[in-house]
Amino acid sequence: MTVGVLAMAYGTPRDRDDIETYYTDIRRGRPPSPAQLADLVRRYDAIGGTFPLRAITDEQIAVLAGALGDDFVVRLGTKHSHPTIAEGVAELAAAGVSQVVGLVLAPHYSRFSVGDYAERAAKAGAETGLRVDTVESWHLLPAYVDFLSNAVTAALADLPAGSEVVFTAHSLPERILATGDPYADQLGETAAAVAVSAGLATWSVGWQSAGRTPERWLGPDVLEIVRDRASAGGAGLVVCPCGFVADHLEVAFDLDLEAAPLARVLGLPFARTASVNADVQVMQALAGLVAAAAAR
């Protein structure tokens, strides 16, 4: 019996010419304004005109597939680019799999993130006669916590004693809190687990990459945290973007090209932790989650 695995990720433009199509899909079919498009193009240009997420995602899937072995067929499905989630499910159906386990390459659950991926995958599966069961979250996966703990320890080694660690994830609209969505709580649980593992005395939780909409988004924003710690005379600040598992735009631009330079200007020693990317131990642990889900 061959099991299908649909590894799901946000998606990314193929190249500079694909940015508008990608952005339009994020905006549910509404083209961005010229100013909005120019701003996103500027951000990609600022990180060297590269689109690293797809290559990293492909490497993650390759390691995951290798860990799972020949009884599993792994395919990619992305939310805002190709192959889409529906296309990924169709590939698995064509491969003749008997069941599908979905795995979102993001550790924390929200109805607006992982929940949306799972709904799309289930719908696509129903249209092809396949049931798709998606792993809900893996924010306390021991290998993931260990990776973050080691990354935090390494980053702190380059900063003055007494430096603080702030754990960040992609912000979402603040209205999710009123619905009982577990996203913010799960970020806090990841941070607490890493703090215990790394023996942290000072740590907090923050947010980054908020959308440009009129409504309130979860905060405090990482740039606000940098300013606050600098004005308070903090010894230093390590940002651990644990809500992201790849060195892509939200890490390379928002942290490396915005937060880090701001900290330098303000005289605050600053570092950010390494990203999971295709870390073998974490990918093998995720393979274990998938195999357990398939057995159930």
Q: Where do the DSSP E strands lie in 68-220?
A: 72-78, 99-104, 132-134, 164-170, 203-208
CA 31/CA 37 separation, integer angstroms: 9
Secondary-structure class of domain 3-137+278-295 per CATH: alpha beta
Please, which residues have CB within 8 angstroms of residue 130's CB and are 6 or more apart in sequence?
4, 89, 92, 93, 97, 99, 100
pLDDT at 296: 84
pLDDT at 211: 86
Q: Are 139 and 190 contacting, i.e. CB atoms less than 8 angstroms apart?
A: yes
3-137+278-295 and 142-272 in the same fold: yes
* Confidence (pTM): 0.95
pLDDT over threshold 90, residue 49 = no
Residue keyed to tokens 């260990």? 146
Q: pLDDT tens-digit profile of 104-147? A: 999 999 999 999 999 999 999 999 999 999 999 999 999 999 99
pLDDT over threshold 80, residue 1 = no
CA 226/CA 264 separation, integer angstroms: 10
Give the residue extent of every domain in the chain. Answer: 3-137+278-295, 142-272
DSSP string for residues in 50-106? --HHHHHHHHHHHHHHHHH-TTEEEEEEESSSSSBHHHHHHHHHHTT-SEEEEEES-
Q: pLDDT tens-digit profile of 271-283? A: 999 999 999 999 9
Secondary-structure class of domain 142-272 per CATH: alpha beta
pLDDT over threshold 90, residue 150 = yes
Q: How confident is the model at residue 51 (pLDDT cuts 50, 70, 90)?
A: confident
Q: How many Å separate Cα 233 from the centre of its chain?
A: 31
Q: pLDDT tens-digit profile of 205-236? A: 999 999 888 899 999 999 999 999 999 999 99
Q: pLDDT tens-digit profile of 19-48? A: 999 999 999 999 999 999 999 999 999 999
Q: How many CB atoms lie within 10 A of CB 45?
A: 11
Average pLDDT, stretch 154-180? 96
Q: What is the CA radius of gyration of the chain?
A: 19
